[in-house]
Amino acid sequence: MKRIALSTLSLALLGAAGAAHAQSSVTLYGLIDESFQWVHHANPANDNLYHLAAGNIQGSRWGLKGTEDLGGGLKAIFQLENGFDPNNGRLGQGGKLFGRQAYVGLSHDAYGTVTLGRQYDPLVDLVQPLTADNFFGSMFTSPGDVDNNDNSSRTNNAIKYVSPVFSGFQFEGMYALGGVAGTTGSGQSWAGAATYGIGPFSIAAGYFRMENSNGFAARGGSATTPPGWSTTATSDGTFDGSTINGAYASAKSIDITSAAGQYVVGPFTFNLRYSFSQYKPDGFSAFTNQEKFHTVGGYAGYQVTPAMLLGLGYIWEHAAGDTSANYHQVSLGGDYSLSKRTDIYLMGTYQHASGTQRTSATTTQAAVASIGSYGFQAGSNTQEMVSLGIRHKF
């Protein structure tokens, strides 16, 4: 990382800016994650796909973050984080300049941190680190990312509080204002999560509710276009083009309850997780019955050497309510560090689907496979994916 530090002396020269006695720092950072990827059954015709795929373990990004010491343990903080696709240079997160994060706030050693802006929700902060996705990313996450385990959704207009760590315990709370005059609740989001760690054992749990904007037109619906997830809602929604949950993009709300536990012993890491995701309709939705997803995942990691990590992940996901489907997904991965900043990886995933899926307001189909959060829709009930990649941090 490149670090730009302004000393007390240099800040004193900027007395007109009112920063005469503060200690400040700004850090420029980033990473590029790129791979050659093969997908078997990559489309409804079951064609194979050979291409370059970015952001497998982590999304490519660059950012700025900084602090200013205000005295008495109080600091002003900010973070701006841009996401991009290194294959074509395009902005990520729907073309937002700082689509990953953009916030400012205050932090105190004893009282915690309050931040305002576009942010990660508390489940991503506290529960996701105790899951397979934290180690190997999108190929190890929930089919369709129905529970936001792979951070498909970020939240705008968010006010978030993060507590200090009290004897291994920490909690977070977040509320995002809908910002619509006369209908305060339209498009709002809220979440809370807590984690506790003692020695080699850690647990975390949380709840996240994201609401769609009110009204048929607000969700993009017209005489020729079905409604979907509104661009004015505070949360982005958990839709990556996957047939697993794509038909529920017009939901009034998405409720996610998630819990995870992790145990580390010597070179081994084991974790288990469970989530319950509910896609609820209202009169403006393109579906009428609530869809529910139960997701159970397990992970075993082995740190062969300080430079080499091997991982095995399994996920079972069950859809019930509007339709009934089951998804079994097995992933294998290896990551080798060439240096502190550069690593190479090889990962493979297999998924099998059964049951039925909704494709529109009036039609369903036999369930087809779609690995992780990639959104490739197979034409059959199986799909395989292999990625050979490199990740560089700066």
- CA 28 and chain centroid, separation: 22
Rounded to an integer, what is the distance from CA 325 to the centroid of its chain? 23
The confidence score (pLDDT) of residue 337 equals: 98
298 touches 312 (CB < 8 A): no
| Any domain includes 29 | no
Does residue 190 lie in a domain region? yes
Q: Is residue 358, in this structure, part of any structural domain at all?
A: yes
Q: Is residue 166 included in any domain, yes or no?
A: no
Name residue, tokens 């290896």: 334
**pLDDT confidence of residue 18:** 46
Structural domain for 131, as ranges: 34-57+115-155+171-393
Identify the pLDDT of residue 15: 45
**C-alpha to C-alpha distance for 131 and 269, rounded to whole angstroms:** 10
Do the domain assignments include residue 177?
yes
Q: Which residues of the chain fall below pLDDT 50? A: 1-21
Phi, psi at residue 125, to the nearest 5°? -70, -40
Instruction: Select from 113, 141, 114 the least CA-distant residue to 128.
Output: 141
How many other CB atoms sit within 10 Å of the CB of residue 97?
A: 10
Helix (H, G, I), strand (E, B) or coil at 370: coil
Query: What is the three-class DSSP state of 381?
Result: coil
The β-bridge partners of 235 are 155
Note the pTM of the prediction, 2 decimals.
0.90
224 belongs to a structural domain: yes
Going 208 to 214 to 218 to 221, the CA torsion angle's sign is positive
What's residue 210's pLDDT?
97
Residue 181's pLDDT is 83
CA distance 206 to 231: 25
Q: Strands, DSSP E only, in the chain?
A: 2-6, 24-40, 49-54, 61-71, 74-83, 101-108, 112-119, 155-162, 169-176, 189-198, 201-211, 253-265, 268-280, 291-305, 308-321, 325-337, 342-358, 364-366, 382-393
CATH number, domain with residue 180: 2.40.160.10
Buried-state track 160-198, b at ≥16 Cβ within 10 A, e below 16:
bbbeeeeeeebbbbbbbebebeeeeebbbbbbbbbbbbe
Contact 254, 195 (CB under 8 A): no
260/129 Cα distance (integer angstroms): 9
Whether residue 264 lies inside any domain: the answer is yes
Cα 353 from chain centroid (whole Å): 23
Residue 324 lies in a domain: yes
C-alpha distances in Å from residue 237, one per residue of 49, 83, 148, 286: 27, 17, 8, 16
Tell me whether strands 189-198 and 169-176 are parallel, antiparallel or unpaired.
Answer: antiparallel
- pLDDT at residue 22, as a whole number: 60
Count of structural domains, the chain: 1
Alpha helices in the chain (DSSP H): 8-12, 122-126, 133-136
Q: What is the DSSP letter of 164?
A: P
